[in-house]
C-alpha cells in the first residue's frame, strides 16, 4: 500500500497472466495459443499495410473490420463492437452492462479475470459452484433457484474446464432472464462449442464476446469483438469513448480482416487442433488421467495419484510448460493447451517418464 495510491488500488487483486517465457526452445502449452501460425494471407495483409499511412491515426470506428466481422457472423455492422483483445471488450462490458443494484452472477470456477474487473469497477458479484462433474448447471442461472441476478456472465466453453453448454442450454439462460444482460464469453467456441450469436436476433439482453486470439491464431495482434443488440453495443461505445480507448491499430485491423476472410485456412487449422485434442485426450487417459470433455483448444486433466503441481514442475524440467491453478477445488488439475502433434507426443512421452519415476 502506498500513501500515493487512490484507496481502491490497495483493494485490487490484479490478474496474474500465464507465463510468457523469454526462452525460445520451450514447448509452450500454458496459455491456449494456437499451435499453428496465422494464415499467410494475414502476414501479406499486414506487410501491405506497412506504408506511409501509419502516420495517420486509425479509423476510430474500425468500419472495415466491423463490416468483416458482421458478414462473417451474419449480423449488421451496428451490432458489432471491437476492442484490443476480448479482455478489453470484457472490461468495457463489465462497466457498461454488468454493474447493477443486484449482484452479477458467474461460476466459481471460470475465467479468473471476472472478479478482477469487479474489483476494479466496484461491481458486487456472487459465484455459483460448478456441479460435481465440473459443469455449469443451467438452473443456477434461472431466477427460480437463486433469485434474479443483476446480470450474468460465463464462458462457453468454460475456462479452465473446457466443458460446454449446448445452444439450447444457453438459450434457456438468456430467455429465462429477460431483464438482465447475459454475456457469453466465446473465446474458445470455434473448437467445438455452439455459438449463441444466432440468438441475438431474438434476445436483446444477450451479448456474445469472441476473440481472434485463439482459433484465428492472432493472440499477438489483440483483436476481440462483441455482438449484440444495437442498444447493448451503444452502451459499450459510450464507455469506450469515455476512456478514449485506442481503436484497433492499422496493422491489426488489416491482419484481422484477412484472417476473417481466409475461411479455408481457419477451417483447416481449427480441425487440426480438434483432431490432435482427441489424440491427446486418448493418450492422457491411457496414462491414467481423468480428462474432462473439452470443446476448447485445451484439456483439463487430473491424475488419481500424482500431485498436479509436481507434474507441472517435472514437465517444466523437460522444457514443457502447462498451467496449474492454485484454487482449492481444481488444485489436482492441469490445464494443457493442444499443441502440434509433435508437441503432444513429447508431452505424453514426458508424462509417461514422470509417472514411471
Least CB distance to ligand PMP at residue 51 (A): 27
Q: Which is nearer to ligand PMP, 85 or 192 (CB)?
A: 85
Nearest to 325 by CA among 19, 81, 99, 10: 19
Nearest to 259 by CA among 317, 313, 314, 190: 190
What one-character-per-residue DSSP string does 287-330 give? Answer: TT-EE---SSSEEEEE-SSS-HHHHHHHHHHTTEE-B----GGG
Least CB distance to ligand PMP at residue 45 (A): 19
Q: Is 200 in the site for ligand PMP (CB under 6 A)?
A: no
Mask for 33-72, x = binds ligand PMP (CB under 6 A): ----------------------------------------
Per-residue cell: 152? 450474468
Beta strands in the chain (DSSP E): 27-28, 80-83, 104-107, 125-128, 151-155, 181-185, 206-211, 224-228, 290-291, 298-302, 320-321, 333-337
Most distant CA atoms of the chain, gap in Å: 60
Report the run of H or E that residue 279 belongs to, with start and end: helix 263-286
Whether 299 and 336 have beta carbons less than 8 Å apart is answered as yes
Report the run of H or E that residue 66 belongs to, with start and end: helix 63-73
Query: Could you tell me how many residues of this chain bind ligand PMP (CB under 6 A)?
Result: 12
Per CB under 6 A, the segment of 171-179, 211-219, 250-258, 342-350 that binds ligand PMP is: 211-219
Please select the residue that binds ligand PMP; options are 111, 117, 141, 191, rule is CB under 6 A: 111
Subset of residues 235 to 294 that bind ligand PMP, contact rule: CB under 6 A:
none
Q: Is 187 in the site for ligand PMP (CB under 6 A)?
A: yes
Least CB distance to ligand PMP at residue 128 (A): 17
Least CB distance to ligand PMP at residue 243 (A): 16
Q: Which is nearer to ligand PMP, 155 or 235 (CB)?
A: 155
Least CB distance to ligand PMP at residue 155 (A): 4
Nearest to 341 by CA among 275, 269, 265, 293: 275
Per CB under 6 A, the segment of 80-88, 127-135, 228-236, 240-248 that binds ligand PMP is: 80-88
Whether 188 and 159 have beta carbons less than 8 Å apart is answered as yes
Q: Is 87 in the site for ligand PMP (CB under 6 A)?
A: yes
Q: Are strands 290-291 and 298-302 parallel, antiparallel or unpaired?
A: antiparallel
Mask for 218-237, x = binds ligand PMP (CB under 6 A): -x----x-------------
Q: Is 213 in the site for ligand PMP (CB under 6 A)?
A: yes
Q: Is 190 in the site for ligand PMP (CB under 6 A)?
A: no
| Residue at shortest CB range from ligand PMP | 85
Q: Which residues bind ligand PMP (CB under 6 A)?
A: 85-87, 111, 155, 159, 185, 187, 211, 213, 219, 224
Amino acid at each position: 500500500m502506498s500513501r500515493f495510491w487512490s484507496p481502491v488500488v490497495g483493494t485490487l487483486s490484479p490478474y496474474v497472466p500465464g507465463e510468457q517465457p523469454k526462452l525460445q526452445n520451450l514447448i509452450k502449452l500454458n496459455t491456449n495459443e494456437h499451435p499453428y501460425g496465422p494464415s499467410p494471407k494475414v502476414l501479406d495483409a499486414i506487410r501491405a499495410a506497412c506504408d506511409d499511412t501509419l502516420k495517420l491515426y486509425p479509423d476510430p470506428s474500425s468500419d472495415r473490420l466491423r463490416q468483416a466481422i458482421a458478414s462473417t457472423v451474419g449480423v449488421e455492422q451496428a451490432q458489432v463492437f471491437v476492442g484490443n483483445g476480448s479482455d478489453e471488450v470484457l472490461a468495457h462490458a463489465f462497466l457498461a452492462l454488468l454493474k447493477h443494484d443486484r449482484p452479477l452472477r458467474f461460476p466459481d470456477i471460470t475465467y479468473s479475470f471476472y472478479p478482477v474487473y469487479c474489483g476494479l469497477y466496484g461491481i458486487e458479484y456472487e459465484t455459483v459452484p460448478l456441479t460435481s462433474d465440473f459443469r455449469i448447471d443451467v438452473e443456477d442461472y434461472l431466477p427460480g433457484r437463486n433469485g434474479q441476478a443483476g446480470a450474468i456472465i460465463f464462458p462457453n466453453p468454460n475456462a479452465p474446464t473446457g466443458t460446454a453448454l449446448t445452444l439450447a442450454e444457453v438459450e434457456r439462460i438468456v430467455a429465462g432472464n429477460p431483464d438482465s444482460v447475459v454475456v457469453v464469453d466465446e473465446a474458445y467456441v470455434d473448437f467445438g462449442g455452439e455459438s449463441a450469436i444466432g440468438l441475438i436476433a431474438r434476445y436483446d439482453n444477450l451479448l456474445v464476446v469472441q476473440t481472434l486470439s485463439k482459433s484465428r491464431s492472432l493472440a499477438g495482434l489483440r483483436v476481440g469483438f462483441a455482438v449484440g443488440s444495437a442498444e447493448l453495443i451503444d452502451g459499450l461505445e459510450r464507455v469506450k469513448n469515455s476512456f478514449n480507448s485506442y481503436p484497433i491499430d492499422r496493422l491489426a485491423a488489416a491482419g484481422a480482416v484477412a484472417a476473417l476472410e481466409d475461411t479455408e485456412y481457419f477451417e483447416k487449422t481449427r480441425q487440426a487442433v480438434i483432431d490432435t485434442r482427441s489424440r491427446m485426450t486418448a493418450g492422457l487417459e491411457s496414462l491414467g488421467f481423468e480428462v474432462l470433455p473439452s470443446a476448447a483448444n485445451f484439456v483439463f486433466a487430473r491424475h488419481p495419484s500424482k500431485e498436479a503441481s509436481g507434474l507441472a514442475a517435472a514437465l517444466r524440467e523437460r522444457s514443457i510448460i502447462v498451467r496449474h491453478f492454485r484454487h482449492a477445488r481444481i488444485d489436482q488439475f492441469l490445464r494443457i493447451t493442444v499443441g502440434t502433434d509433435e508437441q503432444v507426443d513429447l508431452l505424453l512421452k514426458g508424462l509417461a517418464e514422470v509417472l514411471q519415476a
